[in-house]
Amino acid sequence: MDIPGVSSCGCFIIPRKVLLRFSRDRKLKASQRKAFADAVRLEKGWRHARAVKSRLALLATQVLPGELGAAASAPPHVLLFDCRHGNVLPGVPVHDPGASQDQAAAQAFTETTEVVRFFRSVFGRNSLDGRGMALLSSVHYSVHYNNAFWNGSQMTYGDGDGAIFVGFTRATDVIAHELTHGLTQFTAGFGYDNQAGGLNESISDVFGSMFRQWRAGQTVAQADWLIGSDIMGPVALARGYTCLRDMANPAARHCLSPQPVHFSRYRDGMDPHESSGIANLAFCQAAQGLGGNSWEVAGQVWFHALTELKPAPDMKMKAFANRTRTVAAALHPDEPAVRKAIDAAWKAVGL
């Protein structure tokens, strides 16, 4: 049964197209190609599992009684597990992960905790569901696994193949990107097909980039607006790839996964990791036009546009653009420059 408001995405950071490309790349070792091929084969299964979990979770909130009470205001638990290169989730509990000598465990725990603080201190939201939902993360999933994903209830990180990708916990924007799929799941519920899918991926890039800038204390002018630059392995860097995506220049050759920059290039059926470039560029240009810190004005508009929507699995990009225009005017009635900057950014990408 399909339930409105639930996206059915696999919510992986690495697009299927990229995985397929490297699974066929004869310049890579056979073992490296196999690592990519294995990730491709798993993707469909994880996508289905995530859809089922999301539907059950939403159904439970709709038909079963529940009390918010103190649990809604209490900070969420951040739990860490180690798969020890196995493939059974969640794995073995990691005690005191913040002090762990295991770099991946310490990074996942620290940055997930900081994502919690980011959402609460900047946007006033208690965890992904707004009710203090515990956040589970598993590290060292499988062997040379080339991806990180949100499966509807927890985060999972691979260690990469060491050539194209290195450990996925190394990138703060990757961690926040994937967790933001959970935020979207519990709010606007954008689907993962067509325009809604592009918006789903873009929202995760937007909050992932904001989080990276927030952690670094960077203004919009200081930020590089790259997504996934910290997981690029030595072979990827040697080939001139510096990131997965570039929000300021989505079509750039240094992007491992280049994207269109104008809505006229959009086509139904396009991979959401590609079509998201249109909305990514709009947010980047809006934030740059407003100046200062991305999370203070533009980020607030995007957050309210996302979280104050009723579940909209089939949301169109123009409708979301108009929603941000409306929210900008409501949040800043005496500052027409805010709406003007956001309006200009969307018009620049054809929306």
Among 140, 181, 273, 304, which one carries the catalytic annotation?
273
- Please write the tens of the pLDDT for every residue from 134-183: 999 999 999 999 999 998 889 999 999 999 999 999 999 999 999 999 99
Please, which pLDDT band fits residue 42 given cuts at 50, 70 and 90?
confident
CA distance 321 to 288: 17
Among 43, 178, 201, 274, which one carries the catalytic annotation?
178
3-12, 163-172, 184-193, 244-253: least confident range: 3-12
CA distance 29 to 94: 33
Single-letter residue type at 215: R
pLDDT average, residue stretch 181-203: 94
| pLDDT at position 55 over 80 | no
Whether 140 sits among the annotated catalytic residues: the reply is no
Tokens of 10: 């696999």
| pLDDT at position 298 over 60 | yes
* Backbone torsions φ then ψ of 232, nearest 5 degrees: -75, 125
Beta strands in the chain (DSSP E): 78-82, 92-93, 135-139, 148-150, 155-157, 226-227, 245-246
CATH level 2 (architecture), domain 16-185: Roll (3.10)
Average pLDDT, the chain: 91
Domain at 194-348, CATH from 3.90.1010.10, 3.40.1190.10, 3.40.190.10, 1.10.390.10: 1.10.390.10
Give the whole-number percent of the chain exceeding pLDDT 90: 80
Report the pLDDT value the prediction gives residue 9, as an integer from 0 to 100. Answer: 46
Whether 43 sits among the annotated catalytic residues: the reply is no
Report the pLDDT value the prediction gives residue 6, as an integer from 0 to 100. Answer: 39
- Domain boundaries of the chain, sorted by first residue: 16-185, 194-348
Tokens of 329: 């005017």
- Dihedral, CA atoms, 277, 278, 280, 283, nearest 10 degrees? 170
Please, which pLDDT band fits residue 39 given cuts at 50, 70 and 90?
confident
